[in-house]
Amino acid sequence: MSTAPRFDRLLCGLRLVTLADAQGYGLIEDAALGFVGEHIAYAGPLSGVSAAARTQAREIECFDNALATPALVDCHTHLVFAGTRAPEFEQRLQGVSYTDIAAAGGGIRSTVRATRAADEDALFAASLPRARALLHDGCATLEIKSGYGLDVDSELRMLRVARRIGAALGISVRTTLLAAHALPPEFDGRSDAYIEHVCSEILPAAHAAGLVDAVDAFCEGIGFSPEQTRRVFAAAQALGLPVKLHADQLSDLGGAALVAEHGGLSADHIEFTSDAAVQRMAERGTVAVLLPGAFLCLRETRLPPIESLRTHGVPMAVSTDCNPGTSPLLSLRLAMNLACTLFRLTPEEALRGATLHAARALGLKDRGALRPGLRADVAIWPLQDPAELSYWLGGAGPERLYVGGAPVVG
């Protein structure tokens, strides 16, 4: 019998999907979870919990053979924005390319106009329901990017709203500055000048306000060049901030290798990433973030280099890329299904991608698995098999979701 500490909360009658080992679900039948404060103190067979520990637990909850997994982590979203781009969705269905829409003043710029016009309360009211949908889908941790303001005031307003969302919902929100997302109209024809503005004005202001957990950029032909991206990374790392990158989505500009060179947290999209760049990611510990929602909505055909990522042992995260233009996706479980059906991930890979590897893509080592010492971020599902998390297209979310040991859903 264990000599477990007195539990603040003890959950019994579970089938645990621990993800505690390098491979496999780590399934434990007839199991229990014990929380002390915000952390897991016990994760194992119910028989390993002494009678005394059971009777002394402050709160006990019993389930009927429910499936318990780490709470989901959505590591790449743009969910703070105003307006909608449904008309562009119609245009793309009629054959207009994303690049042509952007060149005509649509795309990111149209969302920039709407977002700049919204005050903080309006932006919060528009964005909160999107975050709540992800919460009820099983997400306890969200990354939220800026990038639809593209000036000091608007970028900081987006980041403040992101932090407000975390406080309002009782979840973890990691904020990423994506000022190098697109060229604002006032800098037309002066992309180098805008990058200087990002590095000397927007980034220092956001950092001074304590609103930045990481820095991102869009390295692409319709975004910014590798050299401009290097300048953003240098400015971020001078402030001690980690970097990540929208890399190789539409072409191979060497973005994945570039962010790996800088020890970046993740390279995201990576449809056009080369095998050599994958090797560089493996060497530097850079996570590959797969975004099948954007792949689907843009009707892309170039698959990410999944076999190369497997061969070289690069962790593969899965995320919604929730955004108004190319991935209006409000279910991480649906993103998991798409990663399986479109990219041929296994359900186990998809679950690891939406938990353990997604946390790693945010630089978080304290969540994503069920083992003692980690945060008690746990989802309880009315399911029999962990593969069902990737199998169902829609359906009910978790019957209970705990964030830091406290129930926030159910």
Mean pLDDT of 393-407: 95
Please report where in the chains the tokens 């491979």 appear, as a residue: 23
Q: Are residues 290 and 254 in the same domain?
A: yes
- Place 38 in a pLDDT band, splitting at 50, 70 and 90: very high
Last residue of a domain, one of 341, 361, 381: 361
- Is 166 exposed, middle or buried (CB count within 10 Å of its CB: 0-12, 13-18, 19+)? middle
Q: Which residue has the higher pLDDT, 230 or 106?
A: 230
Distances (CA, A) of 341 to 38, 316, 347: 36, 15, 10
Task: Say whether both 223 and 372 belong to one domain.
Answer: no
In terms of domains, do 305 and 347 share one?
yes
Domain contains 390: yes
Q: What is the pLDDT of residue 5?
A: 67
- Contact call for residues 248 and 276 (beta carbons, < 8 A): no
Asked whether residue 289 is domain-assigned, the answer is yes
- Residue range 107-123, pLDDT digits in tens: 888 999 999 999 999 99
Least trusted range by pLDDT, from 85-99, 277-291, 346-360 = 85-99
What are the residues facing 5 on neighbouring strands?
none
User: By CB neighbour count within 10 A (0-12 exposed, 13-18 middle, 19+ buried), where does 119 fall?
Assistant: exposed
Residue 121: how many CB atoms within 10 A of its CB?
Answer: 10
Same domain, 15 and 146: no
| Spatial separation of the C-alpha atoms in residues 229 and 248, rounded to whole Å | 13
**pLDDT 10s digits, 226-264:** 999 999 999 999 999 999 999 999 999 999 999 999 999
Q: Is residue 100 part of a domain?
A: yes
Distance CA 380, CA 71 (A): 9
* Residue-by-residue DSSP string for 61-90: EEEEEEEEEEPEEE--------S--HHHHH
Q: Is residue 4 part of a domain?
A: no
Predicted confidence (pLDDT) per residue in 126-173, tens digit: 999 999 999 999 999 999 999 999 999 999 999 999 999 999 999 999
- Rounded CA gap, 354 and 359, in Å? 8
Distance CA 203, CA 185 (A): 19
Give, in degrees to the nearest 5, the angle at Cα 325 between 320 and 329: 25
Read off the CATH number of the domain in which 180 is found. 3.20.20.140
DSSP string, 259-294: HHHTT-SEEEE-TT--HHHHHHHHHHTPEEEE-HHH
Residues 6+ apart with CB under 8 A from 208: none
SS3 314: coil
Whether 82 and 112 map to the same domain: the answer is yes
Q: Exposure of 94 by Cβ count < 10 A (0-12 exposed, 13-18 middle, 19+ buried)?
A: exposed
| DSSP β-bridge partners for residue 402 | 378, 407
- Flag whether 321 is in a domain: yes
Residue 383 is part of which domain span?
9-70+367-409
Q: What percent of the chain has pLDDT over 70?
A: 99
Q: How far is the C-alpha of 379 from the C-alpha of 324, rounded, in Å?
A: 27
| Residue 206 near residue 243, CB atoms below 8 Å | no
The pLDDT, as a whole number, for residue 92 is: 81
In the predicted structure, residue 98 carries a pLDDT above the cut 80: no
Read off the pLDDT band of 343 (50, 70, 90).
very high
Cα–Cα dist 133/139, whole Å: 9
Are 43 and 88 in the same domain?
no
Q: Is the pLDDT of residue 2 over 50?
A: no
Residues 303 and 402 in one domain: no
In a domain, residue 168? The reply is yes
Last residue of a domain, one of 361, 382, 397: 361
pLDDT for residue 341: 98
In sequence order, the 6+-apart residues with CB closer than 8 A to the CB of 214 are 143, 174, 175, 176, 177, 236, 241, 242, 243, 244, 265, 362, 363
pLDDT at 88: 86
Angle (CA) 248 252 254, round 5°: 85
**Among residues 243, 245, 343, which one has the least CA distance to residue 293?**
343
What are 348-385's pLDDT values in tens digits? 999 999 999 999 999 999 999 999 999 999 999 999 99
Q: What is the pLDDT of residue 89?
A: 86
Q: Are 32 and 83 in a shared domain? A: no
- Within a domain: residue 1? no
Does a structural domain hold residue 3? no
What pTM was computed for the model? 0.96
pLDDT at 100: 87
Q: How many domains does the chain have?
A: 2
pLDDT of 99 reads 78
Are residues 194 and 46 both part of a single domain?
A: no
What is the pLDDT at residue 101?
Answer: 85
Do 247 and 118 fall within a single domain?
yes
pLDDT band at 105 (very low <50, low <70, confident <90, very high): confident
The confidence score (pLDDT) of residue 1 equals: 41
What's residue 378's pLDDT? 98
- The CATH number that applies at residue 60 is 2.30.40.10
d(CA 162, CA 83): 17
CA distance 280 to 259: 9
Residue 238's contacts (CB-CB under 8 Å, 6 or more residues apart) are none
139-145, strands of its sheet edge to edge: 72-74, 139-145, 172-180, 214-219, 245-247, 266-269, 287-290, 316-318
Q: How confident is the model at residue 44 (pLDDT cuts 50, 70, 90)?
A: very high
CA distances to 36, 141, 170, 406 from 39, rounded to whole Å, are: 6, 15, 16, 10
User: Average pLDDT of the chain?
Assistant: 96
Q: Is there a single domain that holds both residue 36 and residue 136?
A: no
pLDDT at 274: 98
Q: Clarify whether residues 259 and 391 are in a common domain.
A: no
